[in-house]
Structure 1
C-alpha cells in the first residue's frame, strides 16, 4: 500500500468551521500527522494576509498556497512564487462584476481593496482573514498588483451566471471559479490548487500517489486530480464528492479530523 507523505488541505469549509474556528480536533489531527512524519500544508483562495493565523497552531513549516495556489509563500508569508492578473484581464473582470451588480474586491499580496466598506460580505471577510479592507475610490491604480479579484453576492444563482459570463470575458487570460457559493474568484491563468500540489511534489521529491488532499468546493478539484488520495468534506456538493476517492464528515462535525484518522490508517 502506498504510504501518504504529504497532506494538502483547503481552509474554509474544510479546516475551519462555518464560523471560521480552527477546532481543537483539527489542531490535534495535524499534530498526529506531524508525529507520523507526514508533511502538512494548506492551499486556499484566501489572500496571503489571511493565512498567517494558521501557521503557529498547526506548526506549518512547508510552503503554503494563497490565491487558489497562484501565489506560494513560505511559513513567514514571504513570496516564493507569485503571479498577477494582467491589467487588461483584470479590467475586463471588473466590467463583468459591475454588470452583474455584485460587490467587488481586489487583493494584492499585502492589501484588500474595496470601494464599498458596507458590502454585505465585508464583515464576514474581515472575520475570516483577520484584516481590514483599504477603502478606495477607484480600482484602476491597483490593477498592476492584482493577485485576485472577487465578486461577492448572497445570490448563488446570480453568481453562477456571472461565473459563466466571466469565463467567456477573460478566456485564457485568467481563471474564474467560485471558492464559495457567495464568492467568485478571478486569479492568474495557469495556476490553481493542482499546480500548487505539483510544486510541492517537486519540492519534496515525492510522487502524486503519496499525496492526500482534502476540500469542499469546485476550486479543490484540480488538487483532487493531482493526488493519490482525495477527501471531499461532508458539506461539499454531490458533484464534488463524486470526484474524490473518499468522503468524510462535515466541517461542523470535525470532518477534517475524521479524514486524518482515515489517512493515518491508509499509510
Structure 2
C-alpha cells in the first residue's frame, strides 16, 4: 500500500464537534501528523472567512479549500485559485430558493450577505464561522461576485426537494449539494472537494493514492473517490459510510483523532 503523505479533512461534523469545538484530541492528532512528516490541510463548504481560526492551532501551512474546494487560499487566506458562480446561474439559484421559501445567504470571498438578520440559522452560522453577516435589501449587486449561495432550513425534507429542483435549474452551470441536512450549497461547477484533493496532490508531487480524506456528508464523497484512503465519520449517514474505505467514531467521540491514529498505523 502507498504510504500516506497528506491528510485532507472536512471541518464541520468531522474536525469539529457539533458545538464547533476543536478538541484537544484533534489538536494532538494533527500534531502527530506533522511530527510524522505527513501533510495536513482542510477543505470545507465554509466561506474563506470561516476557515482562518483553524490555521494557527493546527499549524496549517498548506493551501486550504473553501466553498467546497472551488476557492483555494493560502495560510493567510489570500486567493490562489478562485472561481465564481456565473451570474445567470446565481440568479436561477436565488429564484429556486425563493420559491421554496428558505432563508438565503450569498457569500463572496470577503463577506456574508443576507436579507434576513433574524434567519433561523444566522446565530448558528455566526458562531460557526466567527463572522457577522452584512444585511442587504437585495442580492442583485452581489450576484457577479458569488462564491457560494446557501439555502438554510430546518425542514430537511423540504431542503432535499429543493436540492432536486436546484440541480435541475442550474444543470451543469453550478454544483448543488447539501453540506448539512439544513444547508443547501450552490457553488461554481467543475470544482469540488475531489478537485481540491487532485490540486493538492499535484502541488505536492504525490499520487492520489498517497492521500487520506475524512468527512461526513454528501459533499465529501468526491474527495473520497479521489483519495487512496477515506474515512467516514461515525455520525455520517449509512450511504456515506458505504462509500468510504474506513468508518471511524463520531465527531462527539474524537472520531477524527481515531482516523488519524489509523493513518499513522498505515504508515
1:158 and 2:149 correspond: no
Equivalent in the alignment of 1:235: 235
Aligned counterparts of 2:64 and 2:161: Cα–Cα separation in 1? 31
Aligned counterparts of 1:90 and 1:176: Cα–Cα separation in 2? 11
- Superposed CA offset, 1:30-71 (max 9, x none): 000000000000000000000000000000000000000000
User: Secondary structure, in 3 states, of the residue corresponding to 2:57?
Assistant: coil
Equivalent in the alignment of 2:125: 125
Equivalent in the alignment of 1:169: 169
How is 1:81-92 mapped onto 2 (pairs within 5 angstroms)? 81-92=81-92
TM-score (norm 1): 1.00
TM-score (norm 2): 1.00
Equivalent in the alignment of 1:94: 94
User: Secondary structure, in 3 states, of the residue corresponding to 2:252?
Assistant: helix
- Superposed CA offset, 1:185-211 (max 9, x none): 000000000000000010000001100
Equivalent in the alignment of 1:149: 149
Aligned counterparts of 1:215 and 1:131: Cα–Cα separation in 2? 24
How is 1:47-62 mapped onto 2 (pairs within 5 angstroms)? 47-62=47-62
Deviation at 1:6, TM superposition (A): 0.2
Equivalent in the alignment of 2:109: 109
Deviation at 1:8, TM superposition (A): 0.1
How is 1:1-267 mapped onto 2 (pairs within 5 angstroms)? 1-267=1-267
Query: What's the Cα RMSD here?
Result: 0.3
4+ runs deviating over 3 angstroms: none
Aligned counterparts of 2:120 and 2:86: Cα–Cα separation in 1? 28
Aligned counterparts of 1:79 and 1:120: Cα–Cα separation in 2? 31
How many residue pairs align between the two structures? 267
User: Secondary structure, in 3 states, of the residue corresponding to 1:253?
Assistant: coil
In structure 2, the gaps of 5 or more residues are: none
- Superposed CA offset, 1:88-130 (max 9, x none): 1000000000000000000000000000000000000000000
In structure 1, the gaps of 5 or more residues are: none
